[in-house]
Structure 1
């Protein structure tokens, strides 16, 4: 069956989890040598799903593959990441994630150019699950665009300034413009205006405190701002995005709590759809509310057992609180546990959503939503091999 709003996808790679699966990448050369060092890594993923809103996919199937290349020589570093997904057949949707070069003046002082994550929110991922919070699909979290970023540390404070010319483009899939990893404004065949986001200016500042002498208790607080131009190609007018986020992370090993909140404001100059804009990702198009407050709360606890086994239970709440009076909020809860043994991981996640285009919803669930909508449930069992 072709990909639909009832099909689950997994964009993230659990960047908030403080350990990684014990798999060594394939490495050639050395960063100190003239030819430098090349590392090849990635993962293969399969899954079984059970949905309250569909009888499909109650069987084990291949889900996705990731290939990552990292090149280092002296202070230069290059990164490349590409993902392949299976909806009906192998790699019927695939997309570039990252392709960039950086120069490191020091470990936290760098200049990076190319397709890369935008500095918005606490990190690439604001939560510790595999499915991702609802803000991933709304184009606020885990967004990778084409641009340049400068990162500069001042003591325990880190400052980042970035300019992005536009998004990273569309790749292999069946949609007109939505065959992409990140959720961006896209060109569609709907009645919505054809929109393009460009000239994105972002900044992020965060400060870390070590609250005990052993540095087991750490607090990180910060904020980020996003200003960009929204080009309406249907009427040749220009709007803008003004978005901000505040965040805090409390890390008391092995416990980590991450809180993020902010406001998204898009002016699209669409004379008909003034309250929503068409976004696209993972080869599908859907409308997202232009204005609203957003929240993510994530709790992670990680511990090691004998024989190289590590276990990480976690919980995530994410929500878009829409500003228009006739809209219903979109909410996603995720409860999960990850078990790691060497290069193998087993992950179980239970997802409860309401007005969620990716979990039992429709094209307009992220826009006006439905006040009478019920919660949809999804259980997903993931098998991961990392190399």
Structure 2
């Protein structure tokens, strides 16, 4: 199967070009610029000095979005700049696109991987647990064909690799990235993705889907290619002011490491720092939210939510990981404020040992929590 994956991109172009007729191209260029500025306040249970200060309030992120189109071809890009400690500047997404009609589209470049619930499998600022293993809002380099019909949606994609920033002959991937990807001595290569979604209902609008991915893991030391795969079953529903997201995933990584290097653990990286993740695990998430429209000056809506994630590791000696976020999103014009209470058990970003919480973990770990307020103005 690995030998066939590089040909998927050619087939996508040929098939999509033959099956549909292009829309009429616009005669003049179109450009739309936007962006966001965000600040963050946080108070963490595992930081005694920070608690004495009453928490910290500071810079989170500044971003620029650009969408431009001419003669039927368009570009969509988003560049973000975080503090140096969180990776500095990085391209979140950026692709060239072509819409054959209102439901069929081709994207080439750094685009979202079609796996699980999109765009987000969460409601809060922290995402859900899968994001920290590259399984939510992941973006890779490749080509993707989308058919977004009224009842049926499907996506087929081939990704040559994750974001490549160093271009060396045997260099590890850069840690300054938005999406979590396999790092260290292994690199993601030749990944194929497929997703099928069925939508139905009026008052109760449902979306039931299945998706999967399979790709290679090239080891820069052994020069051998292992593999990794993920399968997901997901259901999302909207009923009046309620939204439900539920998902179950089976995930496996099988690297070809050097002798003596454990294959029960892989390295993943984003935001300027790597950590270890169990190679094989099951992931279960459940997220629910309710909108409450209000008229409080500029405040027009409150969205209350609770997002839960459970990482069940296959290695018996490893401790499982959990995450739960309870909060509210306050909408006031273009200002969006997330007020979150995020709790984690063996969670690298929520207390404990950052390096191996998502791998071996700590049997004596306790739940840690972070109270967080994120202010973001989007323009």
Q: Which has the higher helix share?
A: 2
Counterparts of 2:337 and 2:271 in 1: how far apart (Å)?
24
**Among 344, 348, 351, the residue aligned to 1:353:** 344
Counterparts of 2:240 and 2:218 in 1: how far apart (Å)?
46
Q: 2:231 corresponds to which residue?
A: 244
Cα shift at 1:110: 0.8
Counterparts of 2:46 and 2:110 in 1: how far apart (Å)?
36
Contact 2:339–2:372 under 8 Å retained in 1? yes
Matches for 1:162-241 after TM superposition, within 5 Å: 162-170=157-165, 177-187=174-184, 194-210=185-201, 215-241=202-228
Q: 2:82 corresponds to which residue?
A: 85
Q: 2:63 corresponds to which residue?
A: 66
Counterparts of 1:207 and 1:33 in 2: how far apart (Å)?
32
Q: Which secondary structure state, in structure 2, belongs to the residue aligned with residue 127 of structure 1?
A: coil
Q: Which secondary structure state, in structure 2, belongs to the residue aligned with residue 179 of structure 1?
A: coil
Contact 1:41–1:68 under 8 Å retained in 2? yes
Cα shift at 1:303: 2.6
Task: Provide runs of 4+ in structure 1 moved above 4 Å.
Answer: none
**Among 342, 345, 363, the residue aligned to 2:333:** 342
CA RMSD of aligned residues (A): 1.9
**Residues 347, 363 of structure 1: CA spacing in aligned structure 2 closer, same or farther, 3 A cutoff?**
same
Q: 1:151 corresponds to which residue?
A: 146
Counterparts of 2:195 and 2:236 in 1: how far apart (Å)?
15
Q: Which secondary structure state, in structure 2, belongs to the residue aligned with residue 326 of structure 1?
A: coil
Counterparts of 2:142 and 2:335 in 1: how far apart (Å)?
35
Cα shift at 1:80: 0.4
**Residues 92, 161 of structure 1: CA spacing in aligned structure 2 closer, same or farther, 3 A cutoff?**
closer
**Residues 144, 352 of structure 1: CA spacing in aligned structure 2 closer, same or farther, 3 A cutoff?**
same
Counterparts of 1:370 and 1:342 in 2: how far apart (Å)?
44
Q: 1:323 corresponds to which residue?
A: 314
Q: 1:372 corresponds to which residue?
A: 364
Matched, 1:132 2:132: no
Unaligned runs of 5+ residues in structure 1 are 1-30, 188-193
**Among 327, 332, 339, the residue aligned to 2:323:** 332
Q: 2:41 corresponds to which residue?
A: 48
Counterparts of 1:136 and 1:153 in 2: how far apart (Å)?
24
Q: 2:264 corresponds to which residue?
A: 275
Q: Which secondary structure state, in structure 2, belongs to the residue aligned with residue 364 of structure 1?
A: coil
Matched, 1:286 2:275: yes
TM-score by length of 2: 0.86
TM-score by length of 1: 0.84
Aligned length: 342
Counterparts of 2:118 and 2:84 in 1: how far apart (Å)?
29
Unaligned runs of 5+ residues in structure 2 are 1-23, 167-171
Q: RCO higher in 1 or 2 (8 Å CA, sep ≥ 6)?
A: 1
Which region of structure 1 is more displaced relative to structure 2, 270-279 or 259-268? 270-279
What per-residue deviation string (whole Å, max 9, x for no partner) do you get for residues 209-262 of structure 1?
02xxxx232011001010001111111221101210010011112100010111
Q: Which secondary structure state, in structure 2, belongs to the residue aligned with residue 137 of structure 1?
A: helix
**Among 266, 269, 285, the residue aligned to 1:296:** 285
**Residues 52, 147 of structure 1: CA spacing in aligned structure 2 closer, same or farther, 3 A cutoff?**
same
